[in-house]
Amino acid sequence: MSTTVQTTAPGYRVLNPATGEVLEEFPTSTDAQIHDAVAAAERAFQTWRNVPIQERAKVLVRVGQLFTERADELAAIITEEMGKPLSESKGEAEFCTDIFNYFATEGPSLAADQEITPIGGGKAVIEKRPVGVLLGIMPWNYPYYQVARFAAPNLMLGNTIILKHAETCPRSALAIQRIMDDAGVPKGAYVNVFASHDQIADIIADERIQGVSLTGSERAGAIIGELAGRNLKKAVLELGGSDPYVVLDSDDIAASAAAAWETRLENMGQACNSNKRIIVMEDIHDEFVAALTKHANGLVPGDPATEEEGTYAPLSSRAAAESLAEQIRDAVDQGATLHAGGQLQDGPAAYLAPAVLTGVTPQMRAYREELFGPVAVVYKVSSDEEALDVANDTPYGLGGAVFSTDEERARKMAQRLDVGMANVNGVGEGADMPFGGIKRSGFGRELGPLGMDEFVNKRLFYIAD
């Protein structure tokens, strides 16, 4: 164990963002270990694919049970690894149970054969069959949930998985591996590796790998997408977002602002589909911003493991906090108004005070870039059309939501959002709800019925008369 303070730490390690201390380091996998992992996954695929889907479902149910049974242990791990408030960490672990249960229950019907009627006669069926070994490259912001939504549908289909987690999440990666092993997932069907970036490229190039799924930054998505394309491998990319959150009117502005603030601060704003651009009609704008500012004022850094009232948690790393502070500074220097927060705490920890920002214009970095942290950026608009123009004026296209006391008014605007997930008066989230975006937010879908429709061989099986 080490208590050395580090600002940059290559390789796999646990760095507590609440203190800046490196608590444990893990060696990167050797090339031989990577070779053995891929070979084991390929061997496992040859048998796992032939296990009846109902039997695979029983294993997934047990995986889900273990996520809840071990929720306290799992929560403590990621609170220390990436600073998530403990209650949110536990909720994330328990949500994985819902995901595995959903695919265990719905999987057999989602993977069922689909009969079609050939025009020229005969019998034809579209079969949904597994494709083989898949590589999953997972992020630090939801260390369990992100893995669950990739692993559950693909294990259910009969695919096998090589899992490369974020370098900052080695303990949670190993905890997931223990769950898979203890639940009866066959040896090799789910294999965690502490791979380097060079080794990732080698894995994707391996002819035994049939696809790759990445959740991460736009930059990482471009690299993985290029590697997948070069090697003719299917890819699913879930990247950044700058989701619009449009408030057309409200019969309780304080409550509307409270809901927007709570949504923005979930996971300290470190969610791809967080409400990063809050677009508010001018007649309620000032009162709305004042209510947000009231929530932000007076907050102090706190321990995410205790979650005392009036405190806020750290971001995932000092580097992340410094980057976000620079985006805020750039906006303020060019004329934006910082109503509250935005201060970066001195020292090695990753605390940045939750902020409220208005007056952001297209010339500022904050207008085009994703603000991956607790910054509520509010835009004032004077009409529904202006609101829609601002909502769609982004290179991203993950999700978006429109709120109004007039549901039809909100529905009409939401239908015109250029996103993968459009919502009215709430956000549709759950194991049964497909997740994914368009434009620079990536491509492909996870969760819901579409989650089992990515890495699958939709094989035509035809019998002539």
Residues with catalytic function: 238, 272
CA torsion angle for 13, 18, 19, 20 (degrees, to 10)?
40
Geometric angle at alpha carbon 115, from 110 and 120, rounded to 5°: 155
Residue pair 168/15 in contact by the 8 Å Cβ criterion = yes
What is the spatial distance between Cα 307 and Cα 141, in angstroms, rounded to a whole number? 18
What residues have CB less than 8 Å from 58, skipping those under 6 apart?
Answer: 104
Task: Look at strands 190-193 and 160-164 and give their pairing.
Answer: parallel
**Amino acid at position 255, single letter:** A
Give CA–CA dist 367/361, Å, rounded.
6
Give the span between the Cα atoms of 399 and 58, in whole angstroms.
Answer: 33
Residue corresponding to tokens 């005392």: 308
Beta pairing class for 209-215 and 133-137: parallel
Q: What angle do CA 326, 332, 334 make, to 5 degrees?
A: 105
d(C-alpha 62, C-alpha 69), whole Å? 10
The residues that bridge with 191 in the sheet, in sequence order, are: 162
Please report where in the chains the tokens 């035994």 appear, as a residue.
208
| DSSP state, residue 418 | -
Q: How far apart are CA 129 and CA 148, in angstroms?
A: 20
Q: How far is 2 from 15, CA to CA, in rounded Å?
A: 10
Place of tokens 């999700």: 399
Spatial contact of 81 and 305, defined as CB atoms under 8 Å apart: no
Give dist(CA 135, CA 249) in Å, integer: 45
Q: Kindly state the helix (H) or strand (E) to which residue 79 belongs, with its residue range.
A: helix 71-82
